[in-house]
């Protein structure tokens, strides 16, 4: 038998992403340009090694077999295929 216990946290929990931490001055990191382009444009962040290319990690979509795929999922994937290359 599994017992489920619900508890209220004693404090607030906030998840900070890598770009959040960098914006708060927590160090340096290789970040995707589309995440920080506005920060670079305004001078909030600076590119430390602009001539260095970190390469591409790729962006992947994991979805059900096309036979069971909802139209909205297919349309989203098509949209990302069309739009993402210009953002990266």
Alpha-carbon dihedral sign for residues 53, 61, 15, 35: positive
16-58 pLDDT, tens digit per residue, is 788 888 888 888 888 888 788 899 999 999 998 888 877 777 7
CA distance 26 to 16: 11
Percent of the chain surpassing pLDDT 70: 98
Residue 80 to residue 87: CA distance in whole angstroms: 10
Q: Which 8-state DSSP code applies to residue 67?
A: G
Structure tokens at 81: 């295929």
Start-end of H helices in the chain:
18-23, 33-42, 71-87
pTM score, whole prediction: 0.52
């Amino acid at each position: 038998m599994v017992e489920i216990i619900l508890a209220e946290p004693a404090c607030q929990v906030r998840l900070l992403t890598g770009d959040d931490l960098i914006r708060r001055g927590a160090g340096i990191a290789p970040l995707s340009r589309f995440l920080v382009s506005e920060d670079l444009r305004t001078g909030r962040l600076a590119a430390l090694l602009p001539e260095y290319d970190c390469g591409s990690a790729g962006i992947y979509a994991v979805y059900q077999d096309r036979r069971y795929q909802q139209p909205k999922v297919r349309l989203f994937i098509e949209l990302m295929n069309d739009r993402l290359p210009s953002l990266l």
